[in-house]
Structure 1
């Protein structure tokens, strides 16, 4: 059973902690438990009910009316709402509920609906990435287990693979070529898969090598495939040497036009700390802008 603080509920629901305290005192909407040392906490049932309450509240329901409903009826009202188009926060909240419950049917339904309503690329931008950002706090406080992480990441991965598979493989031999991989020890594949989708959508000839690729095998693939670019994601501190040294060696041992990178480990890297041929994307927007400029440049050459 997970234990959530009121600040964690604020982070996940979008409802300010002081508002939650008012709701708790005035309407008994939340009923905190206490540890053996008398510290207040909330459990999974509280989180799921609050996420549903937040959804109704954001849709204009009065909190005094919501508070009169048992959690089962609150959930029923949410289901009625989902018959219409959902907003970004509604999608995200429902994904959190599905993850906490390990409810594959709900997770699949919400994610599929987001893709149908928003399109794949916008769903990743507006729903999947904000969802992953919100639950990042839960990794830190151990309220999410490896089972939760594997459950939701595999379902997201499946959606991305379907979207990539729907794109045509580039046949034009003059198309820009790119190798996509994760360095040795790196296993978080969602961002790499999204990159694969974006590059293939932009007309690149892609070679996807996936997770945990040793440096020597990367060099071998680059030598054989002869790409213009490589793309990688640096999420976890798995390196025995500084990332800047790793990238410097990659630049020195290849004839790549550019090395394209992103990820949490690079978020606060100053641009001048990276080799000249390395481009670091700090956001999806930056990556999409780079692709737009690249596509325009390639079109101008023809």
Structure 2
């Protein structure tokens, strides 16, 4: 069982700690336990209850009425809410609840609903990636099991792969090489970029995670003359000097090929880039650049 502080509850639910304490005293629907040093803590069940209550209150239900519902009525009202959802905040709240509950079926139903209404790309950029930013915060404070993060990452990964497989590519299409460098495992962003490239008609060679530089060099010696662009990403923590060294080496392995790099570490560190390496921050920017610059063979 996971245990949470009141600060954890505030971060996950969006309800201020002061408000949670008031609700506890006035309505008694949360009953925290206490450590030997009198610090309050909460269980998984109390977190789930608070998330459901918060979802209702955010959508206009009065807390005084919600507190009198009882858990079964609260569950029923949240279910009704999920059927009427129209905003991304609604969907985000639902997904967080399903993640906490390890309910992958309901998690996927929400994604199915959003994808049907808005399309795959809007689902990814307006729902899935904001969700993972939230998950990153929860993971930092220890409020998610690694298994929960792995579960939803794999569910999203499968969706991206399915969508990419639907894209048709001709034998004459330009070729792009996608990879993650050594010790880099966060691939969802790169996978989505791969989908955008496939949608644009690019023939993608996808190497995946944790690719050693020696392997890249060997591959470059073999297929560099076929490549229109190389794409990589740095998300995991890395010192600026090490990042610059890695980028210099990658640029050197593919000296005559544009290299596109993305990821939080590049955005934060603002490293000096080799002449043939370009940083792109947004997926729209990557897609536009891919179509206008890389594929015709220009790079400026």
Q: Do Structure 1 and Structure 2 share a fold, with TM-score over 0.5? A: yes
Deviation sequence 1:252-276 (CA, Å, 0-9, x none): 22234322122232231225x2223
Tell me the secondary structure at the aligned position of residue 183 of structure 1. coil
- What is the aligned residue count? 295
The TM-score, its normalising length taken from structure 2, stands at 0.88
Task: State the SS of the aligned residue for 2:269.
Answer: coil
Q: 2:284 aligns with which of 277, 284, 288?
A: 288
Counterpart-to-counterpart distance in 1, 2:140 and 2:215: 33
Query: Who is 1:182 aligned against?
Result: 180
Query: In the TM superposition, what whole-angstrom CA distance separates every residue of 1:73-96 from its partner, at most 9, and x where no partner exists?
Result: 212111112223432122222222
CA distance in 2, matches of 1:299, 1:198: 13
> Residue 201 of structure 1: which of 172, 195, 199 is its match?
199
Q: Secondary structure at the match of 2:60?
A: coil
Residue matched to 1:255: 255
Q: Compute the TM-score of the two structures, normalised by the length of structure 1.
A: 0.88
Offset of 1:162 from its aligned partner? 1.4
- Per-residue CA distance 1:118-161 (angstroms, 9 max, x = gap): 21111111211111111212222333222222211111111111
Q: C-alpha distance in 1, partners of 2:262/2:273?
A: 12
Aligned residue for 2:82?
82
Counterpart-to-counterpart distance in 2, 1:143 and 1:69: 27
Give yes or no for contact 1:176–1:227 (8 Å, CA) kept in 2: yes
**In structure 2, how many angstroms separate the alpha carbons of the residues matched to 1:2 and 1:236?**
25
CA distance in 2, matches of 1:123, 1:198: 14
Is the alpha carbon distance of 1:30 and 1:117 closer, same or farther for their aligned partners in structure 2, counting shifts above 3 Å? Answer: farther
Question: 3-state DSSP class of the match of 1:206?
Answer: strand
SS at match of 2:274: coil
Aligned residue for 2:83, secondary structure, equals coil
CA spacing shift, 1:112–1:214, aligned 2, 3 Å: same
Name stretches of at least 5 consecutive residues in structure 2 with no aligned partner.
Answer: none
CA distance in 1, matches of 2:287, 2:210: 26
Other-structure match for 1:166: 166
> Alpha-carbon deviation of 1:15?
2.4
Mapped to 2, the partners of 1:256 and 1:118 lie a distance apart of 39
Once the two structures are TM-superposed, the CA of residue 248 in structure 1 deviates from its matched residue by 0.5
The answer (yes or no) to whether the contact 2:82–2:94 under 8 Å persists in 1 is: no
Determine the structure 1 residue equivalent to 2:129: 129
Q: 2:215 — aligned with what?
A: 217
Distance 2:264 2:79 in 1: 35
Cα distance in 1, alignment partners of residues 294 and 245 from structure 2: 31
Unaligned runs of 5+ in 1: none
- CA deviations 1:93-126 (Å, max 9, x no partner) are 2222222222221222122222222211111112
1:39-65 Cα deviation digits (max 9, x unpaired): 112221122122222221222211211
1:71 and 2:68 matched: no
- In 1: Cα distance, 2:114 partner to 2:74 partner: 22
Q: 1:223 to 1:151 in 2, by over 3 A?
A: same
Contact 2:3 2:42 in 1 (8 A): yes
Determine helix, strand or coil for the equivalent of 1:213. Answer: coil
Instruction: Name the residue aligned to 1:139.
Output: 139
1:55 match: 55
Using a 3 Å threshold, how does the CA distance of structure 1 residues 72 and 274 change in structure 2: closer, same or farther?
Answer: farther
Deviation per CA, 1:5-37, whole angstroms, max 9, x where unpaired?
Answer: 222222222223333233223222432221222
Residues 8, 137 of structure 1: 8 Å contact kept = no
Is the deviation greater in 20-29 or in 149-158? 20-29
CA contact (8 A) 1:186 1:238 kept: no
Taking structure 1 as reference, are residues 262 and 72 closer, same or farther at Cα in structure 2, changes over 3 Å only? farther
